[in-house]
Amino acid sequence: MEKYSEIRVPIAHDNPSIRRKESRCVLCGKCKDVCAKQIGVAGYWKYDGNDIVCINCGQCANVCPVDSIEEQDDTSTFMQAINSGKKVAIIVSPSVRVSLGEMFNMPAGELVTGKMVAALKKLGAEYVFDTTFGADLTIMEEASELIERIKSGNNLPQFTSCCPAWVKFVETFYPQYINNLSSCRSPIGMQASILKHHFAKQNGIDPTNLYVVAVTPCVAKKYEAKRPELVGEYGQNCNLVITVRELGKLLKSQKINFKTLKDEQFDSAYPTGSGAGVIFGASGGVMEAAVRTAYYLTTGENPPTNLLNFSAVRGTTNIKTAKIKLLNKEIKLCVIFGTAAARSVLDKLKTKKYDFIEVMTCPNGCVGGGGQPKCNNTFSTVEARANGLYSADEKMQVRASYLNPQINKLYKEFLNKPLSDTAKKYLHTTYQSKK
């Protein structure tokens, strides 16, 4: 039985994402406040002394002023894996590159990709790969799925599914909308699956000897990696998830001087993604990336500049709307961050209709994730991180997933085409009501 559940969020002892150090708690109530007002979870169920409802986003850890709530610490498991003799492949989410520097007193938004790769190599990783490639795969599948749904009129609006906390929110509070969720796995879910089921074979590695670690801004991914729906032929596809905060701690404990590291490149044994994959880390980024590819898939033409820099879906407003034309239809888009704000849209869906809805749980998307360096959710910091991603995208030669030659190669060699049987087997998933 949890104490003080009237004041603060209760946390189950087996929560895979977060934990509370009891001795530190000052009963300030900030965790419950953010959970109720921004996440829309506390206050929407009654604690009965048994089951605890948590969507694993970790925003309570971000606002706890005394570090009583923290991410589950998987740093020692990480070091055990490095020393186990297995081949450790690290995959790094887009928004890590614009926030990791903050752990070493560098400004928010500063792009530290090269130093980040060098640091992960120094820790002993065999491979360091970019999850932006997984994001490009997600877009190829999700844009194709959207086009199918628009043509058939079924299961609209389509909801994005790359945020595991949002997926759990729908499964828990709005199971009637489960079929609206895209069946696409998240970029980490796709990339880890391809690494185990294709990359390993291509490179003569026993998949059970390949240990995949995701470095992310997200504590919900610790929960997602364990979802039974995502277990593959060789067990968990993504073996471990560590956050930006954990990586910062690890580098400090190993006395790695981050600021002075010489830039290194992601391993060439596996491809990197496009600019569309990079902007996934900001609210609106998944929508913008999907629109770039959906436009091409329906017209055969590259998207115009206003869709390549789709300002209507950018920025720190928590509900943004826009309209585009696809298949001669007006397509209504909605981009939301904060699942409390998503409630207000879902509750009116019958009368206020959309075709495609992106929801990310954290403030301004993953740039404000529950495993990011703490900034007390100040918008200047999360905005600086998002701007770092947008400017990285603008400088890239390939800015849309369908233009990534390596994506096309993977479809040719292994997946056949978006939504093929092979793609569905390795890149898609199912959901369960958790009401």
- Exactly one of 135, 289, 366, 423 binds ligand SF4 (CB under 6 A); that residue is 366
128 lines the binding site for ligand SF4 (CB under 6 A):
no
Asked whether the CA dihedral 422, 424, 429, 432 is positive or negative, the reply is: negative
Which token pair is 89?
A: 């492949």
Site for ligand SF4 in 399-418 (CB under 6 A): none
Residue 189 or residue 271: which is nearer to ligand SF4 going by CB?
189
Residue 133 or residue 199: which is nearer to ligand SF4 going by CB?
133
Residue 135 or residue 251: which is nearer to ligand SF4 going by CB?
135
Residue 72 or residue 298: which is nearer to ligand SF4 going by CB?
72
> Would you give the binding string for ligand SF4 spanning residues 28-47, x where CB under 6 A is met?
xxxx----------------
Q: How far is the CB of 63 from ligand SF4 (least distance, A)?
A: 6
**Under a CB-based contact definition with an 8 Å cutoff, are residues 345 and 319 in contact?**
yes
Q: How far is the CB of 90 from ligand SF4 (least distance, A)?
A: 18
CA dist 282 and 295 (Å) reads 21
User: Could you tell me which residues are beta bridge partners of residue 360?
Assistant: 337
Residue 30 or residue 97: which is nearer to ligand SF4 going by CB?
30
365 lines the binding site for ligand SF4 (CB under 6 A):
yes
CA dist 275 and 132 (Å) reads 8
Those residues with Cβ within 8 angstroms of residue 431's Cβ, 6 or more apart along the chain or in another chain: 167, 170, 171, 178, 181, 229
168 lines the binding site for ligand SF4 (CB under 6 A):
no
Position 104, amino acid: F
CA dist 305 and 71 (Å) reads 40
**Burial classification of residue 62, based on how many CB atoms lie within 10 Å of its CB (0-12 exposed, 13-18 middle, 19 or more buried):** buried
Region from 227-235, 285-293, 361-369, 397-405 binding ligand SF4, contact rule CB under 6 A: 361-369
Cα 240 to chain centroid distance, Å, stands at 15
Q: How far is the CB of 88 from ligand SF4 (least distance, A)?
A: 22
- Exactly one of 131, 191, 361, 401 binds ligand SF4 (CB under 6 A); that residue is 361
Site for ligand SF4 in 10-29 (CB under 6 A): 20, 25-29
66 lines the binding site for ligand SF4 (CB under 6 A):
yes
E-only strand ranges, 131-194: 158-159
- Exactly one of 41, 54, 69, 336 binds ligand SF4 (CB under 6 A); that residue is 69
362 lines the binding site for ligand SF4 (CB under 6 A):
yes
163 lines the binding site for ligand SF4 (CB under 6 A):
yes
Size of the site for ligand SF4 (CB under 6 A): 26
- Exactly one of 68, 193, 274, 316 binds ligand SF4 (CB under 6 A); that residue is 68
Residue 69 or residue 251: which is nearer to ligand SF4 going by CB?
69
Is the bond leading into 107 cis (omega within 30 degrees of zero)?
A: no
3-class DSSP state for residue 19?
A: strand
**Under a CB-based contact definition with an 8 Å cutoff, are residues 91 and 214 in contact?**
yes
Residue 60 or residue 261: which is nearer to ligand SF4 going by CB?
60
Instruction: Give, in order, the Cα–Cα distances in Å from 155 to each of 138, 186, 420.
Output: 18, 19, 19
- Exactly one of 112, 116, 188, 218 binds ligand SF4 (CB under 6 A); that residue is 218
Planar angle of CA 121, 125, 129, nearest 5 degrees? 80
Those residues with Cβ within 8 angstroms of residue 75's Cβ, 6 or more apart along the chain or in another chain: 242, 246, 249, 250, 253
- Exactly one of 57, 100, 200, 238 binds ligand SF4 (CB under 6 A); that residue is 57
User: What positions carry a catalytic annotation?
Assistant: 142, 145, 162, 182, 221, 224, 229, 366
Among 280, 375, 343, 366, which residue's Cα sits nearest to residue 38?
A: 343
Q: How far is the CB of 363 from ligand SF4 (least distance, A)?
A: 9
Q: What is the DSSP string of 105-138?
A: TPPTT---HHHHHHHHHHTT-SEEEETHHHHHHH
Task: Enumerate binding residues for ligand SF4 (CB under 6 A).
Answer: 8, 20, 25-31, 57, 64, 66, 68-69, 163, 165, 217-218, 220, 360-362, 365-366, 369-370
